Amino acid sequence: MNTTPSAKRVLVYGDSLPWGAVPGSTAFERFPANVRWPGVLQDILGNDFSVIEECLCARTLDSDDPRLGFEGRNGLSHLVTCLDSQDPIDTVIISLGLNEIKGIYDWTSDQVAEKMKNLVQTIKERKPNFHTVNLRIILLTQPKVQEEKTGNWGDLWIGSGQKSVDLQAAYRNIADELGIELCDVAKIVDAGVDGVHIDQVSHKIVAEKIAEFFKN
């Protein structure tokens, strides 16, 4: 925890990608804090910023995971509690949506995009509760799911490749429509050996790209 009183507080609200799931691991192995991109971002930004990780494997935008052992993954249900518990917040970085295109949900990319719009609007409407007058929201696109590499999950990701590409385009439109910032991660890194998660090198690339948003 950064205890500098004047530090700007940056909340990362995300899924297994910023959580640091190691590509190809079968037991939710996690990269250490100095490797996953929120930690690398903290190191780059230094003591003037406090990067707060609020990330969870299988977290969705607003869907309830039907699988045993994956309770509490609904991102919208936890969002307001998280925002209030971490108040004051200067910036919210959102990295979500990929889990919603799994076959267990059967959502279209357009439906997932609407879920993201609702989540962003929830953050915007909660803004009066923050001490921060001008809350920044940075939306991240996510890498294309490479279906041919997702065999370890059986049919969990079947049909998700094109949906993930369509979702990238939808997120770019959402950023314009809602007046928030976009970090187009999908253009700078690819999924790792499991077709979904990103490797150590990619975590560093993502952190460096996001850090550019805080240079001014």
pLDDT band at 133 (very low <50, low <70, confident <90, very high): low
Mean pLDDT value of segment 97-122: 95
DSSP string, 137-192: EEEEP-PPP-GGG-GGGTTTTTTHHHHHHHHHHHHHHHHHHHT-EEE-GGGT----
Q: Tokens in use for 8? A: 């700007």
The winner for highest mean pLDDT among 5-9, 120-124, 182-186 is 182-186
8-214 folds as: Rossmann fold (3.40.50)
pLDDT in tens, 66-96: 888 889 999 999 999 999 999 889 999 999 9
Q: In sequence order, what are the residues at sequence separation of 6 or more whose Cβ sits closer than 8 angstroms to the Cβ of residue 143?
A: 164, 185, 186, 189, 190, 191, 198
Does residue 131 register a pLDDT over 70?
no
Q: Select from 70, 42, 37, 77 the least CA-distant residue to 56.
A: 70
Q: Tokens in use for 191? A: 């999924």
Does residue 163 register a pLDDT over 60?
yes
Q: Tell me what pLDDT residue 127 has.
A: 61
Distance (Å, whole) CA 180 – CA 83:
17
Distance (Å, whole) CA 112 – CA 173:
13
For the CA atoms of 103, 107, 108, 110, the dihedral, rounded to the nearest 10 degrees, stands at -150
Q: Indicate the pairing of strand 91-95 with strand 136-140.
A: parallel
